[in-house]
Each structure stands twice: as C-alpha cells, then as structure tokens.
Structure 1
Amino acid sequence: MKVVILAGGKGTRISEESRLRPKPMVEIGGKPILWHIMRQYAAYGFYEFIICCGYKGHMIKEYFVNYYQNNSQLEISLKNQCVQVLRGNSEPWKVTMVDTGLETLTAGRILKIRNYIGDEPFFLTYGDGVSDVDINKLLAFHKQQGKTVTISTTQPEGRFGALRLDETGQEVLGFKEKARTDQAWVNIGFMVMESSVFSYLGDGNTMLEAAPFEQLAADGQMAAYKHMGFWSPMDNIHDREYLEKLWNSGNAPWKV
C-alpha cells in the first residue's frame, strides 16, 4: 500500500520556521518531521510514498534528490572533480513527489494524486504530526470495519487547567487539571482510505475535513480508530521545541 502525505500547506502558525522552508521540512533532532513520519510507516513495511507538495515544494524534492549523498560518507577529489561514496546509507523507499499547487485545499491535493493511486486502498496522513500509532493494527481495524475511510482519533493531553466556578460564574471555587478523558476526540491523521473516497471529493475546492468528511459520516462510511498512545502535532514553535526535547531525551515515543 502507498502512503500519501499532505505536505503542501504554508504553515503560517509556525512562521518562524516556515518562512524559510515548508513545514514538513522543519527539523526534529536534525531530521525533517516528514522523515520521522515516513520512518514510522517504513517500520511496518510500507515503503512507497506519495508526497503532495505545494509551498516551497522544491525544497522537499531537493532533500530526496540529494538524500543518498547527504547521508553517506564521501571522498571528493577537487582536482579531478570526482566523488566516491565510501559508505552509503539510505532508505528502501520509493518517493513520488507531486506538485499539487500553492493554494490547493486538501481535497484537491488528494484528487491530483489519483492517477498514482489507481483502484487500491491507501494511507493518508498530515506532514506535521508524529505518533506511535500501530499501523498494522490500524489497517486491520479498517479492513474489519469495511468503511470507505478510517481516521485515527485520540483525546489530546490536557494543556490547560480548568476552573471550577460558582453558579454566578464570578467566584472561583477550585482548580482542576484537565484530564485527557475530559478532552474531545480529534482526528490525528494516520488514515486509511479506499479508492472510492475520490467520489466524495467533488471538484476539490474544499477542505477534506469539511464537506467530504461530513458526507462520508452521513453515509455511514467513516470509522474511528481510537488511539490512546502518543500523538503530537507541530502547529507552532512551542510544539517543535517540545518534540525536540523529547527526541534529545532519548525517549521520543514515536522513535523506531
């Protein structure tokens, strides 16, 4: 199965980084978050990737074009203009990078890679979040449910404490740490889709998470795989620093 990664957005909420490079190329532990995501799928034996490029997509292309040399030990003779690879280090990945437009919405990006998918089911995820989702269990769940789309869902860790107020709302009676079970369920990506999903995308001029998902849910064609392990998006610079700290600690939950 192929893994489709949405990597074309402008990443305006992390502009400190995205003004220089596309958000999926922002680094965690010296590697783009895109690489971390791909490594997770590869750990489960899925090596074919389709990357939906957009904003500064040339930087994603350059990264993979130069991947082998940049991750190998080289000997260079400047006089003879000769490069010799002393020890190569690469991944067994097949990476297809498709220009899906600068302003294209997510449904449209998926439509533009339809010819690379064919009639097979595929994985879909966002290029800006990491998790320790068990990909094999996710796929098995999708097959068992028999729906067009399965999304991975979780209840995020509570980031803010909640106040307990009196009936007037003017007096604080106490504080409560916002537990994970108090959170709403959210879509964390790591989705599985049948090729029939393309019939829900219309002309592509909408966000995937809007009309297409709403219609899939209304038709009873969307399943939710509950994940109670680790997940973190990289929406802003504080998220990046949090992920970097986890990686440097040696205890990054998504590390494989």
Structure 2
Amino acid sequence: MKTGILAGGLGSRLAEETVIKPKPMVEIGGRPILWHIMRHYLRYGYSEFVIAAGYKGEVIKRWMLDYATLASDVTVRPRHGEVTLHRRDTDEDWTVNVVDTGESTNTGGRIKRLQPWVGDETFLLTWGDGVSDVNIDTLLEFHRSHGKIATLTAVRPPARYGHLVTDGDQIVEFSEKPQIGEGWINGAFFVLEPAVFDYIAGDDTQFEKEPLEELAKDGQLMAYRHYGFWQCMDTMREKHILEELWRTENAPWKTWE
C-alpha cells in the first residue's frame, strides 16, 4: 500500500525557513519533518512513498539523493561510470517517488495528480507538516470496517496558550499545553479509496473544501478519533515545541524506537 505525502505548499507562516526550502524540509532534530513522518509510516511497514512536490520541489529531490548517498558506504568506479551505494541503515528500506505536482496547485489538485502513482487501490495520505503517534494499523482496520471511501484522523490539538483554573485570584490548576476540551479537527493521516479522485475537479480544488464536504454529504467520510499525540508545524512557535520535545527525548511521534 502506498503512502502519499503533500509537500508542495508555500509555508508562508514559516517564512524564516521556507524562503529557501518547502515546509516539509524544515528540520526537527537535524532531519526534515518529512523524514520524521516517513519513519512513522515505515514503523508500521508502509515503505512506498509518493511525495507530492511543488514549491521548491528540487530541494526535496536533492535531499533524497544526498541522504541516500551520505547515509551509505560508496564504491566509485569512474572509468566504468559506476557508483554503488552500500546502505548501513537497513531500517530505512523504503522507495520514495518525488512527483512534481505544480508550484501553485491546490491540495486537491496535488492529490489528483498522484492518481497514476497510487493506482487503483486503497492508499494512505497525509500532510507533510504534521507528526503524530497515531497507530496506522488500527486506523486502517477502522477504515476497512466501515467500507466508506474516506477516513480522516480526527484530533484535539494542544491549545495555543496555557490554561488556568482559578478560585478567585488564586490559580488552582495550571496546564501549559492542554488538549482542547471540545471540538475535533482534521488531523490528516487519511485512508482513501480510489473513488476519492472522482470528488476532485482539478488543480484549483482545495481538498479540505468541496471534496471533503461532498464526501460527508454523501455519507462517505468517517472520522477515526485519535486521543494521543498530534502536532502540526504551521508557525515558528510550533517548530520550537517539536524541537524541544526532540531535544529532551520526549518526542511521542518517534515510534520507530
């Protein structure tokens, strides 16, 4: 089963970083967040990736090539024009397809352009800017149990600001990053059937609008409720949160160890 990752957006709220690279290439712990997402899927045995590149997609291609080379021992035979890579890290036994889906293509359009790559079968999909400890096997089992076209992972993200419980002027409870007490949001980590492509008109389609709205209206969209860790990286503040979790070895999304 293939895993699509949308990695072509501008990431304007991370402009300090994304002026020179696409958002999925912004690093956490010295590795792009894209790598962290891929390692999570690989932990569950999903090793074939289709990366929907766009804005500065050449940065992703270059990193994939350089990473494959620098993480390996190398045998070079210049006279024969041969370069052989000998991988040291056998855990990263994956196949990565980086597909140019257009610089200004919207999310739905990027997904539509992946159709020839994922084929006529169920596929996994997520955004290239969010990490989670969601159990992919349980997610897929839930999807297969209901027989609908689409499943999204519903999450309750950490609140942007700390939460205080007071008794008069006295603070009786303080929580720096509580889960929002009500309301679920789209946390990506989708499971999709090929019929989803029929809901996407073209390059200008925003997947979060008409396609998901129409799927819901048709009774074809289900929510897998994830109560564990989830964090997107839309801002520098959120990048720093993820960096600190990684630095202190408290990264819940590091499921591969």
Per the normalisation by structure 2, the TM-score is: 0.88
The structural deviation recorded for 1:84 is 8.1
The structural deviation recorded for 1:177 is 6.2
The structural deviation recorded for 1:42 is 0.5
Distance in 2 separating the partners of 1:186 and 1:27: 25
Distance in 2 separating the partners of 1:33 and 1:156: 18
Three-state SS of the structure 2 residue aligned to 1:202 is: coil
Gaps of 5+ in 2: none
Three-state SS of the structure 1 residue aligned to 2:197 is: helix
Correspondences of 1:81-100 after superposition (within 5 Å): 88-89=88-89, 91-100=92-101
2:196 paired residue number = 197
Residue by residue, what CA displacement relative to the aligned partner does 1:165-207 show, whole Å, maximum 9, x if unpaired?
Answer: xxxxxxx999886852524201111000000001111224221
1:151 paired residue number = 152
Distance in 2 separating the partners of 1:163 and 1:87: 51
Three-state SS of the structure 1 residue aligned to 2:5 is: strand
* Contact 2:71/2:89 (<8 A) preserved: yes
Gaps of 5+ in 1: 165-171
Residues 1:69 and 1:204: Cα distance change in structure 2 (over 3 Å): closer
Three-state SS of the structure 2 residue aligned to 1:144 is: helix
Residues 1:247 and 1:219: Cα distance change in structure 2 (over 3 Å): same
Correspondences of 1:4-23 after superposition (within 5 Å): 4-23=4-23
Letter in structure 2 aligned against 1:124: L
Distance in 1 separating the partners of 2:197 and 2:140: 19
Distance in 2 separating the partners of 1:87 and 1:122: 28
Distance in 1 separating the partners of 2:21 and 2:111: 22
* Contact 1:23/1:128 (<8 A) preserved: yes
The structural deviation recorded for 1:160 is 2.6
Correspondences of 1:84-123 after superposition (within 5 Å): 88-89=88-89, 91-123=92-124
- Percent identity (aligned): 47
Distance in 2 separating the partners of 1:57 and 1:83: 25
Residue by residue, what CA displacement relative to the aligned partner does 1:83-129 show, whole Å, maximum 9, x if unpaired?
Answer: 88687336211111110011100110111111112210100100001
Residue by residue, what CA displacement relative to the aligned partner does 1:115-167 show, whole Å, maximum 9, x if unpaired?
Answer: 11221010010000100000000000000011100000111122335799xxx
Residues 1:151 and 1:174: Cα distance change in structure 2 (over 3 Å): farther
Name the Cα RMSD after superposition.
Answer: 2.6
The structural deviation recorded for 1:40 is 0.5
Runs of 4+ in 1 over 6 A off after TM superposition: 81-87, 172-178
Residues 1:53 and 1:173: Cα distance change in structure 2 (over 3 Å): same
Residues 1:76 and 1:197: Cα distance change in structure 2 (over 3 Å): closer
* Contact 2:158/2:231 (<8 A) preserved: no
Residues 1:162 and 1:99: Cα distance change in structure 2 (over 3 Å): same
1:224 paired residue number = 223
The structural deviation recorded for 1:59 is 0.8
Three-state SS of the structure 2 residue aligned to 1:182 is: coil
Per the normalisation by structure 1, the TM-score is: 0.88
Residues 1:139 and 1:82: Cα distance change in structure 2 (over 3 Å): closer
Larger Rg: 1
1:212 paired residue number = 211
